[in-house]
Amino acid sequence: MSNDESHHEARWPPRGGALDRLARWLEGGGDGVETDRLLDLSTVLAAPALDAIHPEVTRFYLDPGRYRMRAGVHASRFSGALLDLLALVSRQGRLPDRDRGDEGGDGFEGYPVRQVLYRDARGRTHWDRYILIDRTWQRFFIARLEGQSSHVVETFVVYGIPFALTFRASVEDDDLVLSLVPKWSSPMSWFARVVYRTGISEHGVHTRGDFRVPIVGFRVRTEFRASRTEP
């Protein structure tokens, strides 16, 4: 059965386990209060850079809950195995590469993604994303997001311990580009090279991620397609 066919049968939400609740309590946020506002890019970029980005990208970052998201991944078998290990250790997303385009496909799995957007007791904004794999909703990216001048900080919470990743924001060919700044990020990311590019394609809001650790030959490319479901 495909992810589409089993979408309505999968149990939701997956975030109420005792370990998850303990982690949120240890980190000081609690379950929080639902919000419809993630990130105003005007707090990150100034004109004319902000004006160069397609308005739909700006709307997506402001309120991603209005969009239906799907995800895919491209990785070698070696990198895929390391990604699975990283997901196990960090309790973040396991994203199997099952469509390599060998049978005429475009290499995009199209795993459904659900989002939980809320503000915690400290006023911080959380953007928790879950992915449907084999009829089961799994943790994907459990993180906080905040914008600063020319930077975006995404903080992943692993067993109640925050790991911050700082990205430099820029605009290239009308795309929003977020590039990891290792020296301002958690030590666990110091050897990584991460870039996310978000723009517009025939699929809607289209984000391509490139995650590399050159020292061990690791490379994973992710793809996210988001289409607006509400005006």
CA 90 to chain centre: 15
> What are the residue ranges of helices labelled H in the chain?
3-6, 18-27, 49-52, 55-62, 77-90
How confident is the model over 37-46, as a mean pLDDT?
A: 96
pLDDT (mean) for 158-164 = 80
pLDDT in tens, 174-216: 999 999 999 999 998 999 999 999 999 999 999 999 999 999 9
**What's the pLDDT tens digit per position in 53-83?**
999 999 999 999 999 999 999 999 999 999 8
DSSP secondary structure string for all residues of 102-149: TTS--S---EEEEEEEEE-TTS-EEEEEEEEETTEEEEEE-EEEEEET
**How many residues are given for the chain?**
231
Percentage helix, strand, coil for the chain under 3-state DSSP, each rounded to 5: 25, 40, 35
Cα separation, 8 vs 11, whole angstroms: 8
Residue 5 has pLDDT above 50, yes or no: no
Sequence-distant (≥ 6) Cβ neighbours of residue 8 within 8 angstroms: none
Measured CA to CA, the distance from residue 39 to residue 49 in angstroms comes to 16
Lowest model confidence (mean pLDDT) among 34-48, 92-106, 122-136: 92-106
